[in-house]
Amino acid sequence: MQKQIKSALISVFYKDNLENIVKKLGEQGVTIYSTGGTQKFIEDQGVKCVAVEDLTAYPSILGGRVKTLHPKVFGGILARRENPQDLEQLKQYEIPEIDLVIVDLYPFEETVKNTSEEQAIIEKIDIGGVSLIRAAGKNFKDVVIVASKDQYADLENVLTANNGATTIEDRRKFAAKAFEVCAHYDVAISQYFLNNEPGDYFQVSVKEGQVNRYGENPHQRGVFYGDLNEVFNKLHGKELSFNNLVDVDAACQLIQEFTETTFAVIKHTNVCGIASRPTLSAAWEAALAGDKESAFGGVLVCNKAVDAQTAASINEIFFEILIAPSFDADALTILQGKKNRILLEQKQPVKSKYAYKNVLNGVLLQDVDNGNYKEWNDVGARPANAAEKADLEFANIVCKHLKSNAIALVKDKQLVGKGCGQTSRIDALRHAIEKSAQFNFDLKGAVMASDAFFPFNDCVSIAHEAGITAVIQPGGSVRDNDSIEFTKANNMVMVMTGMRHFRH
């Protein structure tokens, strides 16, 4: 059922790209009601406008807090056109029907980003706008509601195509968007008052949905909600896929734990190579050496500017994505030689406070694992020397970023073997040792990190046999002493951190 727009209420904060709509409404003979700055804008387009104050016989009061909250406005929006009693009351109280409402909301989120002054933030909590949006959305059978400048183009197309008439499908679509806008706005306000801590309801609202080519697999739909431009400048390459985004997040979470020049390779969210060295080129070579097979098609990440020497070396292998804080001009020239290769310049760290998982028709929420160790408790045969301590700290961070059950073997700040995602910690260690042998690493003097405790001394025994001299683990098993006694008997270092790092 089509309805002709004969009257409109327009009151907006953002007036960009509104000119064509205002002029088209004027051409179509639509009566326009407006307020303040919007009224002046409309009149500046040469279009007649009725002040809301003239309709309500009340001025804008309380410093602009109350402008449209009046029965003559809301009655005209909420009246059911098929209801004789509603129409009689409109006539009785001289209330005009309003067929189109164009309003937006005060920029609350932008204000929160730009100031900490509470009064300025509070004043950007919109009251009238939200009320108008909800009223018009509720009466979508008769009223068109446009609640965001993002919909101006859609409205202009409808007005042009149907000469100012709308279908019920049009109005329902605009209403759905309007309630989305209100819901997002309310979540932002609630989170401000909660200081971004969890409340009684699980509330997350993120704009800027970006449809991926597909999800994890081609038969799955995928959408990313967030603003990648806040974190990256994309300098080259195709669009990031669902799986790319998951790996990029894992890479960024890992690399921001290191201050020394470090390069890492990520595959399916697991670290398959990482090293810290005095130069980026050396760090890259050492990271790649950790697992040259797995690096194929991986995500690369570093924490220093990519120079030409490093770029030339990287360019020799196939990879999906390279993330760096910056790229030298000549390095970019080298790396942009392949059109699909994605190059991301990271502008700021990933600042996630919470991690979420959907399970059992619900949502699990937890703090992001920002810790590394609670204590440094030497319980083995001797304290770690300086080199061992540096490697143990390095290994502990790497292990934290591997899927459980996880083991990381490190030597000279280079990952030389890893086992991840295993159902047995022994299997994880065996896999790590096999990987180190595959790439000809000598484990004599290497260190081992485990994401969780050892319930028996089997892992430390296997590690000792492989040449590993130092172990870091959280401790907490009722049989911790079995592993401790083994290290004491075999001149091994064992550090207990008191902090587990499961990653499922």
pLDDT confidence of residue 166: 92
| Angstrom distance (rounded) from CA 442 to CA 440 | 7
Residues 346, 326: Cα–Cα separation, whole Å: 7
**Lookup result for tokens 């005095």:** 278
Give the whole-angstrom CA distance, residue 119 versus residue 109.
14
User: pTM for the whole thing?
Assistant: 0.85
Is the separation of the CB atoms in 182 and 207 below 8 Å? no
Distance CA 376, CA 391 (A): 14
Each residue of 222-242: pLDDT tens digit? 999 888 998 999 999 999 999
The backbone region for 363, taken as left when phi is positive above 0, alpha when psi lies in -120 to 50, beta otherwise, is: beta
Identity of residue 269: T
Which tens digits make up the pLDDT trace of 76-96?
Answer: 999 999 999 999 999 998 999
pLDDT of residue 67: 79
Cross-strand bridge partners of residue 414: 275
Predicted local confidence at residue 128, as pLDDT: 87
Longest dimension (CA), the chain: 97
Q: Catalytic: which of 6, 24, 268, 488? A: 268
- CA-to-CA distance for 445 and 139, rounded, in angstroms? 74
**Residue 24: in which H helix or E strand, if any?**
helix 19-27
Q: State residue 58's pLDDT score.
A: 81
Q: Are 405 and 422 in contact (CB under 8 A)?
A: yes
Per-residue pLDDT of the chain (504 residues; tens, 9 = 90+): 688 999 999 999 888 889 999 999 999 999 999 988 899 999 999 999 998 888 888 888 788 788 778 888 889 999 999 999 999 999 998 999 999 999 999 888 899 989 999 999 999 998 888 999 999 999 999 999 999 998 999 999 999 988 889 999 999 999 999 999 999 999 999 989 988 888 888 888 887 778 888 999 999 999 998 889 989 999 999 999 999 999 999 999 999 999 999 999 999 999 999 999 999 999 999 999 999 999 999 999 999 999 999 999 999 999 999 999 999 999 999 999 998 999 999 999 998 888 889 899 898 888 899 989 899 999 999 999 999 999 999 999 999 999 999 999 999 999 999 999 999 999 999 999 999 999 999 999 999 999 999 999 999 999 999 999 999 999 999 999 999 999 999 999 999 999 999 998
The verdict on whether 431 is a catalytic residue reads: no
**Is 464 one of the annotated active-site residues of the chain?**
no
Task: Determine whether 331 is exposed, middle or buried from the number of CB atoms within 10 Å of its CB (0-12, 13-18, 19+).
Answer: buried
Q: Which secondary structure element, helix H or strand E, spans residue 173, and what is its range?
A: helix 168-193
**Spatial separation of the C-alpha atoms in residues 334 and 439, rounded to whole Å:** 28
Predicted local distance difference test score (pLDDT) of residue 397: 96
Residue tagged active-site, from 24, 138, 207, 234: 138
- What pLDDT shows up at residue 361? 87
